[in-house]
Amino acid sequence: MRAQSNPWYAVLSSYWFSSSFKWFLVLWVLLPTRIAELSPEPERAGRLGFLFIVSAVLAILGPPVFGYWSDRVGRRMPFIAFGAVITALSLVWMAFASSYAQLAVAYILLQLSDDAITGPYASLVPDLVARRRRGVASGWLGILQVVGSVVAGLVVLLPLGLEGQFLLIALINLLGAFLVVAFVREVPGLKGRPEGLGSSLLAPWYSNDFRWVWLTRFLVMLGQYVVLTYLLYYLADVVQKFSVAGSLYASEPAQATGLMGLLIALGTVLAALPAGRLSDHRGRKPVIYVAGGGLALLMLLFLIPNFTWLLFCALLFGALFGAYLSVDWALISDVLPNPQAHATDMGVWQISSILPQLLAGSLGAWLGSVGAQSGGSGYTLIFLVTAVCFALGAILIRQVRGAR
């Protein structure tokens, strides 16, 4: 397989598909269900919340620490291979755990094994992909990330049972890792870095470009997660009628949200690769200006409570966010300050998408409360603030000097 070709990019991105597929099913379906099976009803919410908190802390700390270890030894593939095996074993253990304690340990092991992969895997783009082709590589990663979630949603409908779903995730996880390890050659003789862990984790923050790219991605991801978190409630409380041209397309808000989610995914898949190619030829910044500015404007249009209009907005949201996804990985790869620290720095960069997930729920709830207390609609304030997040995520990218 020729490197820097479309099949090679698809193989390089295959583990990102596996990861997206895994976390969609584990977080939204399998973990809550297993906790319900193994816990008294009054303790279920608390136990689930505890594991989410532990998982979030590990997801923030793990990738840069394992990335540092990968940089230290100058290897990527052993982390991906070993992490995938431990991930598969953890999933099997979760499937057959006979107590909450066993389930909790298995889940924590799952998170740690995923962390062991994330930093080293994320470094493969800056390690291996030529600067002029990173937009295409980033586009493939964005496409397979979204497709992984969509396929996972379809798997829920299959009569596999919980154990079958856990085993399927383990198999797909191993397959994605195998494709990367077998067909993607890591940089030969990558020189290990001698610095200590603390100084290595702080080092990327001394780079002006890294700080601005990290901040702008944080803002865009925060806007996205707030919108998606409160979309169901907005449809239920404000839109209420889910018909198009007189025909009923959804009978309840959950179905309407699912339909909009599919259109968002479709838009993302259609736009990611063309936008990535465009960024390789015209620069990263113009794509981000259009994507971020378009998303900001779209948040204002979301305030029109017409379901037909919102379906169109969902497709456009997916296209604009897909364009952003096709550039953000390429942009950070362009501005990483130290070639010997790609895995560490990419692990630190990944925090910019983890923190927004943790903050989105509480931020949206606070905005909704403030909006309601001031006599207006809480959703109006939510969409206005997310518009500001998207706009700032686009405008502040001007501060980046190491990429065009």
Domains of the chain with CATH codes:
6-192 (1.20.1250.20), 208-399 (1.20.1250.20)
Stated pTM of the model: 0.90
Please give the pLDDT value at position 312.
Answer: 94
* Beta-carbon-side half-sphere exposure of residue 365 (alpha carbons within 13 Å): 5
Helix 284-301 and helix 378-395: axis angle, to 10°? Answer: 170
- Predicted local distance difference test score (pLDDT) of residue 377: 65
E strands of 235-351, at which residues?
A: 243-244, 247-248
> Within 74-160, where are the H helices?
77-96, 100-122, 124-128, 134-155
d(CA 360, CA 187): 37
End-to-end Cα spacing for the chain: 31
**How far apart, in Å, are the Cα atoms of 297 and each of 102, 130, 134, 302, 305?**
48, 34, 28, 9, 16
pLDDT of residue 348: 95
Q: Name the residue among 126, 99, 144 with its Cα closest to residue 6.
A: 144
Predicted confidence at residue 221, as pLDDT, reads 94
CB 67 within 8 A of CB 120: yes
List the chain residues with pLDDT less than 70.
Answer: 1-4, 189, 192-194, 249, 364-365, 368, 370-377
**DSSP code of residue 337:** S
Of 12, 120, 55, 21, nearest to 341 by C-alpha is 120
Alpha-carbon gap, residue 242 to 231, rounded angstroms:
14
Q: According to the model, what pLDDT value does residue 193 have?
A: 65
